[in-house]
Amino acid sequence: MVDLTRRHFIKILGIGSLTFAPGCTSRPEKNLFSNVQAPEDMVTGKATWYASTCRECPAGCGILAKNKEGRVIKIEGNPLHPVNQGRLCMRGQAGVQGVYNPDRIRRPLLKKKDGWQALSFQEAEAFLKEKIDAATQKGENRVHMLTEVVGRSLSALFDDALHKWRSQPPLVFEPFAYESLKTANQRVFGLDGLPSYRMEEADFLLSFGADFLETWLSPVEYGRKFKQMHAVNDGRKGFFVHVSPYQSLTCANADLWLSCYPDAEVVIGLGLIREAFQHGRGKSLSSELRDALQDISSPFTKDKVAELSGVDLDLYGKLITRLQQARKPLIFGTGTGAIGSNSLQVDTVANLLNTLLDPELGLLEFQNRHLVETASRRSEVLTFFKGLAKEPEGVLLLNNVNPAFALPSSGSPVDVLKQESLFTVSFSNFMDDTSRLADLILPVRLPLETWDEYSGTSHIVSMVQPTMAGLTGAPHLGDLFLRLAYGEKSPAKNFQEYLSIKLFSSGVIKDQKDWVNMLREGGLFEKHASGKPSPQWISGDEVRRTLGSVSPPRNAELTFFAAPSLRFFDGRGANRPWLCEVPDPLSKVAWQSPVSINPQTLRQRGLKQGDVVELRSQWGTMEAPVYETEGVRPGVLLMSLGQGHELFGRYAEGMGTNPFKLLSPEVEPVAGSPIFTVNLTSFRSTGRSLGSAHTEGSQGFRTQFGIHYRLRLAHTDGSKVQHGRKIALTTELQDLGKEEKEQKPGLGMWDFPLVLPLPEGYDKKRDVYPPHDHQIYRWAMVVDLDRCIGCNACAAACYAENNVGIVGPDRIREGREMAWLSIERYLDEKNLKKVTFLPMLCQHCDNAPCESVCPVFAPHHSKEGLNNQIFNRCIGTRFCSQNCPYKVRRFNWFDWKWPKPLHLQLNPDVTVRSKGVMEKCSFCVQRIKEAHGLAKDEKREIRDGEVQPACVQTCPTKALVFGNLMDKNSQVRKLTEDWRAYQVMGHLNTKPAVIYLKKVVQEI
Amino acid sequence: MIRVFSAFVLVGLGAFLFQIAGQHPEKAWQAYLVNFILWSAIAQGGLLFSVVLHVTKARWGRPLQGLAESFAAFFPISFILYLLLFFGRAYIFPWLGGDLHGKEGWLTIPFLFSRDAVGLLILYGLGFGYLYHGLKLKRIRGDASEKSREALRARLSVIAVLYIMAYALVLSVLAFDLVMSADPQWISTLFAPYAFVKAFYMGLGGLTIVAALVRIRHREAASLTSSHFHDLGKLFFAFCLLWADFFYCQFLVIWYGNIPEETSYIIQRTMTLPWSRLAWTVFILSFVFPFLILLNKQVKTKPRFMIGLCSLVLVGIWLEHYLLLSPSLNPKADSIPIGFADVLITLGFLGLMAMAVRFALAHFPELIPVQQQEVK
Amino acid sequence: MSGMTYAQIEQTVLHTLRPAPLKYWAVVALTFLGLLIGAGCWAYQIAVGIGVGGQNIPVVWGTYLINFVFWVGIAHSGTLISAILYLFRAGWRNPIARAAETMTVFAVCIAGLFPFIHLGRVWMVYYILPYPNERTLWPNFQSPLVFDVVAISTYLTVSSLFWYTGMLPDLAIVRDRATGLRKRIFQMISLGWTGRHEQWRHYTRAYLFFAALATPLVISVHSVVSWDFALGIVPGWHSTIFAPYFVAGAIHSGLAMVLTLIIPLRRIFHYEAFITENILDNIAKTIIFTGLIVGYAYLVEYFLAWYSHNIVEQESFRWRAFGHYSLQFWVMVICNTVVPLLFFFRKVRRSIPWLFAISVLINIGMWYERFVIIIGGVAHDFMPNAWGLYSPSIIEYGILLGSFSMFFFLFLLFVKHLPSVSMTELKEGIHQGGDHGR
Amino acid sequence: MAVEKCVISLFDDETRAASAIEALRGSPWKLERVHSPIPSDKILNALKLKKSRVGYFTLAGGIIGFFSGVGLAIYTGIQWNLIVSGKPVVAWIPFLIVGFEFTILFAVFGNVLGLLFQTNLPEFQSLRIYDQRCSGEHFGVLASCAEGEENKLMAFFQEKGGEARLI
């Protein structure tokens, strides 16, 4: 299943380890060669790939970091890694922007009355050691630690260290800690953890809010698995129903969105349990459990459910039948966030449903568990802080956590950090809401620069290794702890060694060879057989206790949802310019987080999109611009988490607002999970409209006479529907293959045939121009709309690979975004709840209208069919963009800025465009050239799949395929014969080389 | 003379009826349509010459105006011919019963015929109005008071302006309905102007011929100096260029745009056999010849020569009309389906036109520019 | 006019060349200031980037191209009046020909500036020229913009030569009436013209050819300009009627501008004697005609957009009339086609205020026509997801101001230093015997 | 002939000037040149001049222009040999525009050159023997005669109704 293509193999050969490359610096602009004798695996102009593990979220995908002249310029998925199999999400892509972030703290900072005082790392370390020793002297439990989820070895080190300091092991703080799911698992399966799911084997998915395409557990992995079960094969595809009050990206990919009142999921779940019994399921259950369940679920008849939850009765009925027919159904509980007060019940119900419908529970891998399960419950975190508040003594170590931002602010426990007596140390690299409260900021190396072992799931060992030398000279966290805890008597001379010892002792590796192999391949990935669940079943009265108390659905009031963000996760991504610049796939709004409201609600309040509203809950108040969408129920207000940092560097400060402010500090009593929904006490317009949001160094000045025409929201889309044009097409599952037969080719928009950008695509009756030939290759791409989930990974990858400029909200508002590839979101004209995502990039037309109008041949047709854009020939007439029917050309209105050291990330193979120049997708021509060189050396032609543009490479669902059309056996060529194939606006006879496959939709 | 023409008419009629009776009625009707458009255009364009001169108060062409007005005599015939077209509808509207790409509302036989009939009535009505007042003006010249003459002139001007507008609009609608609709998918915004500029071009051709005949007939008596012919020739030359320009404007834009909905039309007509041959013939007859020849000043003043040249051009334009229509009417044709019958039918129309003009000149001698009546 | 003698004509015209009063120089200074403002804006734009304008994706062409087309349009009537009307021997053009030609020359200069202002990298503009170079980098002769370069430069050259040639005899007159430095200057620039029969013999001929060549040129130039749009495939642009329609539009605006210019001119310089109301009347009539053509073009475009049943075209034209820029659209329709119809009334044609007001309105309308076409077309084209809007930035307004200031600056300099009415042609006018260029 | 004398006579109306020119032809005196403020058919006819040859220059210019225009387009096209929008590298249809513009441009150049050559402008010689009123309202006829005959010549002119002046 790991497809080890040529390209990957080359990469892995290239994979080295910085163990052999001690001296790479990151100052190439000073001297091109990092040092006098360059390490043997560093050849100037040639990339070296280092295998490591992504630490942008707890999922732990395997990555390959592309290192050129000693600096990492791009991160790609590690094809050997079972979690993500070579693919990577946009957050992972943006990891480099953490390392090169211009606002990164380069030296330790000590808080003084009059602000921060910079220390050397040695001083800071000594200072810290002092403090810790002092605290340890004072007595027990004087050293407290709060950390993000870390690898087993490192957390072991933490434990040892803290133990040495006579203190409790550290507390793992993750804003999204899946408490309710863990509790439910514990209740139902007797397993206090997070098993992973064999989603790919299911034929029916029912999710009560689990957003597994965005943030839930392991998005890249489940994205892939989802499309495996949801792709069309021989006329059938799995079915996916999403039950929730609003439309997340995951929900937008569902075949059916069963929109219900907030907190009504459990009602539906119970109803489904009742129906399951009706259909004679649950034989395997113990009788008293069965009775209990039946008692509880019996009142939830179809009508009752419909009435309580506000779902459409008839749809609900269909859902029941589909669910009963399903061979291998899989039910998910609540999502990562946006969890209501019934989350525990919902997750329990989900687990019970799984048990009822598939007593084998074959789709749950109980042995293969997600590491994030080690995160502590919110309740524990709060107790931790309460404890501190009681006696604010000793030292508090904070490893890359941001409680000040991620905990509801009202009566925030975090205030304890302000206490004099408590010496707080933050190992963070950024001045964020929490570290600014710390007394000492001691930045450590970031994941791309450091050693660790982080295995996202329990059946693999995945390495974290330095992919480049430290940019700031900060210490490895591991080394630091070794030194702090053991001083001279350290068990290992550094954490790297400590790590190898650990791995050796745990029998993961036998010898140096294994070690090196691990480093080469990024880990040890042999599969363990997943065991059966140990069904220590929930007891009847337990069920009664858990499910008896269901808080009633909130159909009346205005309910506010804070959803985890595809782009910023819990907010840790908010200072990565790419994540800000790439717009949210559903709202197409960049740089801001508006609050999504149903048009009906808006009309009642006399509001319109772009108005700034004030939301007030009993816990707090905040203001945000309004975004109008059918994607939320009337009465529901939705905002994504992650922005609104008071402090977090230039890209995050003042961008959007932080919905945590509104949330209740309380937790769900049983599971101890936070509650991400809240009832609004007031919701009113501020009368203001969103002005131009503050942004970093806004280039040039810009004032408008009269009205500012663009909508105030920094959104990149024009119309949300396609006005009956041939752009993003869908087809019903049942008419698979029908259309092509009845279709008789003509000249109109709808009956124009698919014409390949090859000589055979020309027809004397239609074409004024003679066909032209290409040399061996005619590059082309196939985009399968049925596979595209709109996750934006491709867009981010494109930014990373092609040095695409970051323009900021003001410029985006003016319509000057630079994205070469953007995921266009089209709503169905008849049903605005149905979404189709359309990756739009240069179509590399054979008869490209943009070319001939240029006075200087800047865009022209290459021998291999590419639509080349010669940057330094362009004089900026912009005629090409005018004449491009796909509007995919981008213009450099100004010189875009890469504040140091962000410029170190720039890809040396791609020109950085100066002002006044047109640019656009080049099919990553630099990669094609590279492949050419390789093929030439080996005296052969480029193999199919050898060239992969950045977007294709990273797409988690393999929606994009790239290759040579002239090769009859190439994958692209074969796909073009699929009857779903069509060209956007093909009747213009541009003969695009980007061929789309219609999305296949199905009714329940 | 008159006999010859009536003979033409009879021959043409005969050929037409024979064709209709035969197994190829569609051929007959196509020839009929082409000729109807062509000869009506000559008449409409011919009169336009006089009208334009009147509106611009240009003095140089006075003696030619009368001759131009004589073309109006063909209007009633043209109208009757148009009405007869109704019986051939099945053969001349390939879109009948075909896919109309949503144009059903516009392309319906009753609506089409009624609107065009109304249009023609208005146009011809104005034409006659102009003719009538023009004649009146000529008649009362000399005697009646300056004042009444002024009044007449004023009214004449109003009608003239209206005629020009009607000319543009009605010919546009005709061009859309009778010619462009032959390929319902195809559109070209310049097509209508192209049509009425062409009509004026033809009108000037016809006028030149008539003027030349008059000149030959009356020798020196005719108050048509060679400078008149020179100016007329220049105008003819100018419109030859304008016509070609309008063709190029359409061709270039469509060629460059490369949108099959548009290109297929010109590809079929100009780039694929057999039609491409015809296209070149038209181009040479109606543009290359007149262009190269009329660069020279002298030839413009040679009546006999001009008759030959103008006839050539008119033949070219006849073929051009044929080229526009026929490919849609005979999509399968592998050779250009012009037969002897087409020639005869054309002769018939020529006869009609000639008789009309002769009739006019005979009944209103003041139209003929001969010495005795002073030219003001 | 026929009442006048040669002497009176000369006297009136030469009178205008006498040293100017202070207020004249004040106005000149004012216009120069405007010119400087424009220049400043441009300099700023070059320094910071073209982004200081309001353009964006999809609307990457803004007011600069609008002004370009507008000024080229203005430039057209000059040649029309001096060449086409000349060929048609419309005697009434004589007294206004010189002013119109001058207007043409200056307008073309300004129009020619705008493509430069528009460029993203104006410092690389020489890439457009077919200059021989080692790497054999040539311009693309299939690009409408290169057609522009060729056409506009040709037009500039030809119209300036035409203008100068036509002025030769007058320069000689000034020379003969002047003294001192001015005499020497005019001796130089009149090339020693003495009105010898040999000179007249060739001159008249050459002048005729000039007219004969300028006529097709003027038509071709604006056709080429129109093809900057029509050759694209953008809905609302890709239309075969554009070439003649733009030519008509150009003449429409040009004539209006002529009125706007000569009405004050005849007032200030007491030209009422030559530039009679009949002439204004004739211009007005011609404007009716061009206005009707423009109106016809609007009509046909709408009809065929509907008839074509091409949903993209239909949406594009629906939006044009009722969408975001409907205001500009209706301004355009009313000013260009409805208002000129007032000229059907003799009273309007004969009243100076009316003439002036309407001419200004038409200029506004024509500017908005270009706005509606250039902005409206792409703002709302094939991909709904890319639909966007555009509004000019203050910099663009500054440059617009600059262009008008420059125009009036040059024109003001002209009227005080060169004969703004062709004395020679006027003399012929009286003198039935003479016939300029036969 | 010995030293020549030049006499210029100014007429305030072209008809008289024309008749004077006619008369001169019969006389022993030589007509040098005629200055007129406007081009006058009468005078030109009286002079019996051949038609001007400027036209040939113009025509030549036009023809050269057309070929150089189209030529340039084709040459540069072939030099790069780049396909744009799938259009043929040598595309006649658009190249005609270039050809046309060049035709006009060169024709005009030819025209101007023709004018300058034929009238050999600029030349400032004739200004020496020239009366400034000729650019105003007078038609000046300049004739030359042998030494001593000047009075006769002047008399001749005066009787023709012009005011004669010896230069």
Q: Tens digit of pLDDT for each residue in A708-736? A: 333 368 888 888 999 999 999 999 988 87
Which residues does chain C have within 8 Å of residue B256's beta carbon, measured at their own beta carbons? 227, 231
For chain A, the C-alpha Rg in angstroms (whole number) is 28
For chain B, the C-alpha Rg in angstroms (whole number) is 21
How many domains are there within chain C?
1
- Give the whole-angstrom CA distance, residue A903 versus residue B269: 58
The yes-or-no verdict on residue A661 having pLDDT over 90 is no
Print the domain residue range for D69: 54-119
Q: Which of residues 42-101 of B touch C (CB under 8 A)?
A: 56, 58, 60, 101
Residue D109 sits in the same domain as residue D76: yes
Higher-confidence residue: C358 or A7? C358
Q: Identify whether the C-beta of residue C166 lies closer than 8 Å to the C-beta of residue C208.
A: no
The contacts found for C302-310 with CB under 8 angstroms, 24 or more apart, are C304/B187, C304/B189, C307/B103, C307/B106, C307/B176, C307/B187, C308/B187, C309/B101, C309/B102, C309/B103, C310/A749, C310/B261, C310/C235
- Give the whole-angstrom CA distance, residue A583 versus residue A580: 7
Q: Specify the pLDDT at position B362.
A: 85
Q: Specify the pLDDT at position A870.
A: 93
Q: Identify whether the C-beta of residue C325 lies closer than 8 Å to the C-beta of residue C358.
A: no
Which residues does chain C have within 8 Å of residue A891's beta carbon, measured at their own beta carbons? 50, 57, 60, 120
Q: Chains touching chain A at 3 or more Cβ pairs under 8 angstroms?
A: B, C, D
Tokens of B170: 């009605």
Please state the pTM of the whole predicted model.
0.92
Q: Identify whether the C-beta of residue A636 lies closer than 8 Å to the C-beta of residue A245.
A: yes
Is C342 part of the contact surface with chain D (CB cutoff 8 Å)? Answer: no
For chain D, the C-alpha Rg in angstroms (whole number) is 25
Q: Which residues of D touch A (CB under 8 A)?
A: 80, 82-88
Is C204 part of the contact surface with chain D (CB cutoff 8 Å)? Answer: yes
Count the neighbouring beta carbons within 10 Å of the beta carbon of residue B74. 29
Q: Specify the pLDDT at position B141.
A: 61
pLDDT band, residue C289 (cuts 50/70/90): very high
pLDDT in tens, B114-158: 999 999 999 999 999 999 888 888 777 666 677 788 888 888 899
- Give the whole-angstrom CA distance, residue A448 versus residue A460: 20
* Omega within 30 of 0 (cis) for the link into B303: no
> Per the domain annotation, does C257 fall within a domain?
yes
The one-character DSSP state at A673 is -
> Per the domain annotation, does C365 fall within a domain?
yes
Tokens of B117: 């009939």
Q: What average pLDDT does this structure show over A168-187? A: 91
pLDDT in tens, A199-212: 999 999 999 999 99
Instruction: Give the distance from residue D46's alpha carbon to the nearest chain A alpha carbon, in angstroms.
Output: 56
pLDDT in tens, B252-297: 999 999 999 999 999 999 988 889 899 999 999 999 999 999 888 8
Q: Which of residues 205-264 of B touch D (CB under 8 A)?
A: 248, 251-252, 255-256, 258
Q: Specify the pLDDT at position A794.
A: 95
Q: Identify whether the C-beta of residue A213 lies closer than 8 Å to the C-beta of residue A249.
A: yes
Nearest residue in chain A measured CA to CA from B257: A849
Which residues does chain B have within 8 Å of residue D85's beta carbon, measured at their own beta carbons? 258
Residues paired with A206 in a beta bridge = A241, A331
- Give the whole-angstrom CA distance, residue D109 versus residue D132: 31
Is D96 part of the contact surface with chain C (CB cutoff 8 Å)? Answer: no
Ranges of residues in chain B with a pLDDT under 50 are 373-376
Instruction: Give the distance from residue D155's alpha carbon to the nearest chain C alpha carbon, in angstroms.
Output: 23
Per-chain mean pLDDT for chain C: 90
Residue D99 sits in the same domain as residue D65: yes
Which ipTM was obtained for this model? 0.91
Q: What average pLDDT does this structure show over A587-599? A: 92
- Report which of D120, D140, D116, D145 is spatially closest to residue D130, judged by C-alpha positions: D140
- Give the whole-angstrom CA distance, residue A35 versus residue A992: 47
> Per the domain annotation, does C436 fall within a domain?
no
**Is there a contact between B165 and C292 if contact means CB atoms under 8 Å apart?**
yes
- Give the whole-angstrom CA distance, residue C284 versus residue C357: 12
The one-character DSSP state at A68 is E
Per-chain mean pLDDT for chain B: 87
Q: Chains touching chain D at 3 or more Cβ pairs under 8 angstroms?
A: A, B, C
pLDDT in tens, C207-225: 989 899 999 999 999 999 9
Tokens of A521: 């391949």
- Report which of A562, A578, A581 is spatially closest to residue A570, judged by C-alpha positions: A562
Q: Specify the pLDDT at position A373.
A: 92
- Give Cα separations from A385 to A111, A130, A175, A237, C153 (angstroms): 21, 24, 15, 49, 78
Nearest residue in chain A measured CA to CA from D94: A852
pLDDT in tens, D120-154: 888 887 777 777 787 888 888 888 777 777 777 77
The CATH number of the domain holding residue D40 is 3.30.70
Work out the percent of chain A whose per-residue pLDDT is above 90. 60
The contacts found for A44-49 with CB under 8 angstroms, 24 or more apart, are A44/A69, A45/A69, A45/A908, A47/A14, A47/A73, A48/A14, A48/A15, A48/A16, A48/A21, A49/A11, A49/A12, A49/A14, A49/A15, A49/A16
Q: Identify whether the C-beta of residue A135 lies closer than 8 Å to the C-beta of residue A423.
A: yes
Which residues does chain C have within 8 Å of residue B241's beta carbon, measured at their own beta carbons? 216
The single-letter code of the amino acid at C422 is S
- Report which of D18, D1, D3 is spatially closest to residue D162, judged by C-alpha positions: D18
- Report which of C292, C254, C249, C271 is spatially closest to residue C79, judged by C-alpha positions: C254
The CATH number of the domain holding residue C60 is 1.20.1630.10
Which range is least confidently modeled, A257-266, A735-744, A930-939, C152-161?
A: A735-744
> Per the domain annotation, does C313 fall within a domain?
yes
End-to-end CA separation in angstroms for chain D: 18
Which residues does chain B have within 8 Å of residue A987's beta carbon, measured at their own beta carbons? 259-261
- Give the whole-angstrom CA distance, residue D125 versus residue D117: 16
Task: List Cβ neighbours of A577 (8 Å cut-off, separation of 6 or more).
Answer: A97, A651, A806, A902
In a 3-state reduction of DSSP, which class is residue A774?
coil
Nearest residue in chain B measured CA to CA from C223: B249
- Give the whole-angstrom CA distance, residue B331 versus residue A904: 65
Work out the percent of chain B whose per-residue pLDDT is above 90. 43
Pairing type for strands A71-77 and A62-68 reads: antiparallel
Higher-confidence residue: C16 or A804? A804
Q: What average pLDDT does this structure show over A376-387? A: 91
End-to-end CA separation in angstroms for chain A: 31
Count the neighbouring beta carbons within 10 Å of the beta carbon of residue A488. 5
Tokens of A986: 């093909």
pLDDT in tens, A18-50: 444 433 444 434 444 444 444 556 677 788 899
pLDDT band, residue A611 (cuts 50/70/90): confident
- Give the whole-angstrom CA distance, residue A638 versus residue A48: 44
Q: What average pLDDT does this structure show over A474-503? A: 89
The yes-or-no verdict on residue C388 having pLDDT over 70 is yes
> Per the domain annotation, does C111 fall within a domain?
yes
pLDDT in tens, C117-167: 999 999 999 999 988 888 778 999 999 999 999 999 999 999 999 999 999
Residue D112 sits in the same domain as residue D61: yes
Of C6, C203, C433, which is closest to D42 when you measure between CB atoms? C433
> Per the domain annotation, does C10 fall within a domain?
yes
The single-letter code of the amino acid at B320 is E
Which residues does chain B have within 8 Å of residue C227's beta carbon, measured at their own beta carbons? 252-253, 256
Count the neighbouring beta carbons within 10 Å of the beta carbon of residue A941. 15
How many domains are there within chain D?
2
Residue D114 sits in the same domain as residue D135: no
The one-character DSSP state at C337 is I
Q: Identify the residue among D83, D85, D93, D98 best suited for mutation to test binding to B, counting B beta carbons within 10 A and taking the highest.
A: D93
Alpha helices in A165-216 (DSSP H): 179-189
Taken in order C406, C407, C412, C418, the sign of the CA dihedral is positive
Task: List Cβ neighbours of B292 (8 Å cut-off, separation of 6 or more).
Answer: none
Instruction: Give the distance from residue C7's alpha carbon to the nearest chain D alpha carbon, in angstroms.
Output: 7
Is D88 part of the contact surface with chain B (CB cutoff 8 Å)? Answer: no
* Omega within 30 of 0 (cis) for the link into A466: no
Mean pLDDT by 10 residues, chain D (167 residues): 70 81 78 82 78 88 94 91 90 93 95 89 78 80 78 79 75
Which residues does chain C have within 8 Å of residue B58's beta carbon, measured at their own beta carbons? 88-89
Q: Identify whether the C-beta of residue A51 lies closer than 8 Å to the C-beta of residue A64.
A: yes
pLDDT in tens, C243-264: 999 999 999 999 999 999 999 9
Nearest residue in chain C measured CA to CA from A588: C385
Which residues does chain C have within 8 Å of residue B232's beta carbon, measured at their own beta carbons? none
- Give the whole-angstrom CA distance, residue C291 versus residue C362: 9
pLDDT band, residue A9 (cuts 50/70/90): very low
Higher-confidence residue: A2 or C243? C243
- Report which of A18, B181, D118 is spatially closest to residue C209, judged by C-alpha positions: D118
Alpha helices in C380-433 (DSSP H): 394-417, 423-430
Q: Identify whether the C-beta of residue A152 lies closer than 8 Å to the C-beta of residue A505.
A: no
Q: Identify whether the C-beta of residue A640 lies closer than 8 Å to the C-beta of residue A653.
A: no
**Is there a contact between D54 and C431 if contact means CB atoms under 8 Å apart?**
no
What is the Cβ-side half-sphere exposure of residue A675, based on CA atoms within 13 angstroms? Answer: 22
> Per the domain annotation, does C437 fall within a domain?
no
Q: Specify the pLDDT at position B225.
A: 83
**Is there a contact between B252 and D94 if contact means CB atoms under 8 Å apart?**
yes
Which residues does chain C have within 8 Å of residue B253's beta carbon, measured at their own beta carbons? 227, 230-231, 238-240, 242-243
Residue D83 sits in the same domain as residue D95: yes
- Give the whole-angstrom CA distance, residue A626 versus residue C227: 44
Q: Which residues of A touch B (CB under 8 A)?
A: 747-748, 752, 764-769, 847, 849, 852, 987-989
> Per the domain annotation, does C438 fall within a domain?
no
Residue D106 sits in the same domain as residue D156: no
Print the domain residue range for C259: 6-429
Count the neighbouring beta carbons within 10 Å of the beta carbon of residue A760. 9
pLDDT in tens, C41-70: 999 999 999 999 999 989 999 999 999 999
Of D80, D86, D88, which is closest to A857 when you measure between CB atoms? D80
